[in-house]
């Protein structure tokens, strides 16, 4: 589903001394099927922004459109539940939402609420549990007996079991060990490719954004600060530093390489291997 | 912590009402609440109203915000007024509608009760609007200190109070977060039959309890690790101190009380 924000402003607790403008006149468009990274400093409004995607927040001003669903102050979709079954959200620390007696019941909770038939739920669970990297033996256990990383995977499975068209991820790997982070991101990415999802990823990691996203939106203090392809956005070191963000490691390397050897290499989301090849050809050709 | 989120009802400020020693505020409000019931003449009500409104204005808390906070109470005030209008049968009949007769006594009684009610709520909410929960707890601990003599656990009570107060906003945030997460998983907290709505509370309460217990355990561990061992010999970070302004306010309040007792009618 296409996602469009038109001049969206969101104010927490309007008309009180605690009034706080968390989003300020934000506009952008996300094509169906794309993988978008939303980046910004803590408090820049990322979580507020994504809470509009399934109607948890309704814009104070402006319009949010997700496919044929339109959200504005005047006009809310009649069937909010349907919207929520099509937009799956993995919140920050999603393991806090677990509550059932067994892992299986917890994963089944979402799909059951959205009236997916029992046998279909069973089928989905059988497919999803190995996909998120859990052994099938956990299904009968209490989610509260699992490790933090396993709980996270259960919670993620619970969202995926609804089979949404749009997957929204709010810092899904925060607090995991590096290996777990990589596994989970790879899992989301292959899911994105296989099922043609539209994925919106909120992240602090430039590396993840470079690796997976084909479009990047940078927020600063509730406003859209930059937007574009990762290779365009992430090479603008000065602008990024101004909002306390850093460029990805590879861009930093390329910059240092240029300083040291005076040779220009273009950053185009290449892999480490490709970069090594390029360096090799540069070094040979330019006889450094 | 992020101070743009609501912390209790407290509205930060630098007015004299904010700066007063919390014990002064509590003492004055205690006597005020007490004397509201002694007012019985127009001037005596006037004094009380002027005092309450003046405190409200000096606090510089936006009036709109205070009034919004009073909305649930407005209903009660109006209800009391109407009740008095209908049931009090004193004084003379001033007008009648259909089978009802309205007496002057009813109108006067209605007004009197409503104003008392309004004043009580106004001054007490002014206390919580201008005083942090921690200050209130400190003040209560200090004022209850004499009870230590009869082995009443004043410090423990105060600690329990301040911990609960400290975690109310946290719990509210947590509730908000979890209910959003469950709403995203298709829980409908707002519509549907009562039975379903009660069932919808389970996915909210279980995670809330789990996290509250976890927090309690972590807090206990952190306190012990930092050598907490009860109130015995414990010094204070925030010392309460009566300043000149407190004394001035006490004097001013004494004048208000004097005028009140001079202007009320005795019979
Ligand atoms: N429920 C709320 N009430 C008031 N202010 C809030 C609330 N939630 C978030 N905010 C404020 O809105 C701003 C943006 O928050 P958020 O969207 O969570 O940022 P991010 O996810 O980028 O860290 C922050 O300044 C935060 O303090
Ligand atoms: Mg966030």
A56 assigned to some structural domain: yes
Q: What is the Cα–Cα distance from B204 to B192, expressed in whole angstroms?
A: 17
**Is the separation of the CB atoms in A11 and A19 below 8 Å?**
yes
User: What residues make up the domain containing A196?
Assistant: 3-247
**Is the separation of the CB atoms in A88 and A167 below 8 Å?**
yes
A277 assigned to some structural domain: no
Going by alpha carbons, the residue nearest to atom 16 of ligand 1 is: A45
**Is the separation of the CB atoms in B136 and B22 below 8 Å?**
yes
CA B168 to chain CA mean position, Å: 15
Greatest extent of chain B over all pairs of C-alpha atoms, in Å: 74
**Per the structure block, which two tokens stand in for B86?**
């209908």
Question: Which residues have C-beta within 8 Å of that of residue A130, sequence separation ≥ 6?
Answer: A136
CB-ligand 1 contact for A45 (6 Å cutoff): yes
User: pLDDT at position A286, please?
Assistant: 59
Going by alpha carbons, the residue nearest to atom 12 of ligand 1 is: A22
A263 assigned to some structural domain: no
Pick from B6, B184, B202: CB nearest A56: B184
Sorted by where each begins, the domain ranges of chain B are 16-131+241-263, 154-225
- Chain B positions touching A110 (Cβ under 8 A) are 185-186
Q: What is the Cα–Cα distance from A233 to A227, expressed in whole angstroms?
A: 7
CB-ligand 1 contact for A189 (6 Å cutoff): no
Q: In this predicted complex, what is the ipTM?
A: 0.89
Least confident range from A166-175, B27-36, B85-94, B205-214: namely: B85-94
Q: Which residue has the higher pLDDT, B112 or A63?
A: A63
Split at pLDDT 50, 70, 90, the class of B1 is very low
| Contact call for B183 and A56, based on CB within 8 A | yes
User: pLDDT at position B145, please?
Assistant: 87
A274 assigned to some structural domain: no
DSSP state, A101?
S
Split at pLDDT 50, 70, 90, the class of B2 is very low
pLDDT digits 0-9 by tens, B152-204: 888 888 888 888 877 888 888 899 999 999 999 999 877 777 887 888 889 99
Look at residue A96 and give its three-state secondary structure: helix
The DSSP bridge partners found for residue B103 are: B93
Q: How many folded domains does chain A comprise? A: 1
User: pLDDT at position B3, please?
Assistant: 34
Pick from B62, B185, B187: CB nearest A158: B185
pLDDT digits 0-9 by tens, B226-235: 988 877 777 8
**Is the separation of the CB atoms in A133 and A153 below 8 Å?**
yes
| Contact call for A84 and B184, based on CB within 8 A | yes
- Chain A positions touching B210 (Cβ under 8 A) are 99, 144
User: pLDDT at position A71, please?
Assistant: 93
A265 assigned to some structural domain: no
Q: What is the Cα–Cα distance from A32 to B36, expressed in whole angstroms?
A: 66
- Chain A positions touching B5 (Cβ under 8 A) are 18
Task: Provide the mean pLDDT of chain B.
Answer: 85
A183 assigned to some structural domain: yes
A256 assigned to some structural domain: no
Look at residue A267 and give its three-state secondary structure: coil
Residues of chain A with pLDDT under 70: 286-288
pLDDT digits 0-9 by tens, B50-103: 999 999 999 998 888 888 777 778 888 888 888 888 887 777 777 777 777 777
A23 assigned to some structural domain: yes
- Give the predicted TM-score (pTM) of the model: 0.78
Instruction: Give me the residues near ligand 2 (ion), CB cutoff below 5 Å.
Output: A 47
* pLDDT exceeds 60 at position B137: yes
CB-ligand 1 contact for B3 (6 Å cutoff): no
| Contact call for A109 and B65, based on CB within 8 A | no
User: pLDDT at position A124, please?
Assistant: 95
**Per the structure block, which two tokens stand in for B257?**
């009380």
CATH (domain of A98): 3.40.50.300
- Chain B positions touching A16 (Cβ under 8 A) are 65, 68
* pLDDT exceeds 90 at position B132: no
User: pLDDT at position A78, please?
Assistant: 82
**Is the separation of the CB atoms in A3 and A66 below 8 Å?**
yes
Split at pLDDT 50, 70, 90, the class of B6 is very low
């Amino acid at each position: 589903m296409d996602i469009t924000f038109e001049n969206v402003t969101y104010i927490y607790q309007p008309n009180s001394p605690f009034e706080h403008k968390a989003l300020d006149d934000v506009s952008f468009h996300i094509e169906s099927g794309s993988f978008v990274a939303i980046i910004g400093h803590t408090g820049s409004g990322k979580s507020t922004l994504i809470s509009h995607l399934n109607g948890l927040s309704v814009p104070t001003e402006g319009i949010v459109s997700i496919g044929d669903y339109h959200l504005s102050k005047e006009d809310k979709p009649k069937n909010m539940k349907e919207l929520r079954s099509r937009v799956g959200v993995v919140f920050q620390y999603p393991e806090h939402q677990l509550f059932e007696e067994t892992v299986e019941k917890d994963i089944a909770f979402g799909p059951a609420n959205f009236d997916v038939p029992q046998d279909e739920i069973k089928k989905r669970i059988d497919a999803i549990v190995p996909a998120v990297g859990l052994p099938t033996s956990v299904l009968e256990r209490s989610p509260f007996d699992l490790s933090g990383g396993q709980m996270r995977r259960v919670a993620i499975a619970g969202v995926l079991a609804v089979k949404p068209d749009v997957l929204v991820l709010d810092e899904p790997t925060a607090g995991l060990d590096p290996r777990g982070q990589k596994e989970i991101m790879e899992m989301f990415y292959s899911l994105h490719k296989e099922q043609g999802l539209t994925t919106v990823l909120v992240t602090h990691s430039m590396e993840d954004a470079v690796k997976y996203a084909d479009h990047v939106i940078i927020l600063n203090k509730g406003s859209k600060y930059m937007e574009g392809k990762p290779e365009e956005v992430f090479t603008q070191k000065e602008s990024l530093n101004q909002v306390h963000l850093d460029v990805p490691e590879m861009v930093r390397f390329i910059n240092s390489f240029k300083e040291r050897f005076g040779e220009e290499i273009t950053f185009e989301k290449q892999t480490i291997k490709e970069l090594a090849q390029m360096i090799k050809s540069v070094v040979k050709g330019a006889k450094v | 912590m992020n101070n743009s989120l609501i912390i209790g009802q407290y509205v930060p400020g630098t007015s004299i009402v904010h700066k007063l020693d919390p014990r002064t505020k509590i003492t004055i409000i205690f006597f005020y609440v007490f004397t509201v019931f002694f007012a019985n003449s127009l001037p005596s009500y006037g004094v009380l109203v002027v005092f309450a409104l003046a405190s409200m204005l000096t606090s510089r808390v936006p009036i709109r915000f205070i009034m919004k906070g009073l909305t649930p109470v407005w209903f009660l005030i109006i209800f009391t007024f109407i009740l008095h209008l209908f049931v009090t049968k004193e004084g003379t009949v001033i007008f009648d509608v259909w089978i009802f007769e309205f007496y002057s006594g009813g109108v006067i009684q209605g007004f009197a009760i409503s104003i008392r009610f309004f004043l009580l709520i106004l001054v007490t909410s002014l206390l919580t609007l201008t005083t942090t929960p921690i200050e209130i707890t400190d003040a209560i601990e200090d004022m209850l200190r004499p009870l230590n003599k009869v082995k009443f656990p004043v410090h423990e009570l105060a600690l329990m109070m301040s911990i609960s107060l400290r975690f109310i906003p946290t719990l509210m945030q947590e509730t908000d977060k979890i209910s959003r997460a469950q709403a995203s998983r298709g829980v409908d907290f707002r519509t549907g039959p009562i039975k379903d709505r009660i069932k919808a509370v389970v996915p909210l309460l279980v995670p809330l309890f789990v996290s509250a217990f976890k927090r309690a355990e972590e807090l206990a561990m952190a306190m012990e690790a930092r050598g907490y061992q009860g109130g015995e010999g414990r010094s204070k970070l925030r010392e309460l101190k009566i300043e000149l302004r407190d004394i001035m306010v006490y004097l001013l309040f004494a004048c208000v009380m004097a005028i009140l007792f001079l202007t009320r009618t005795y019979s």
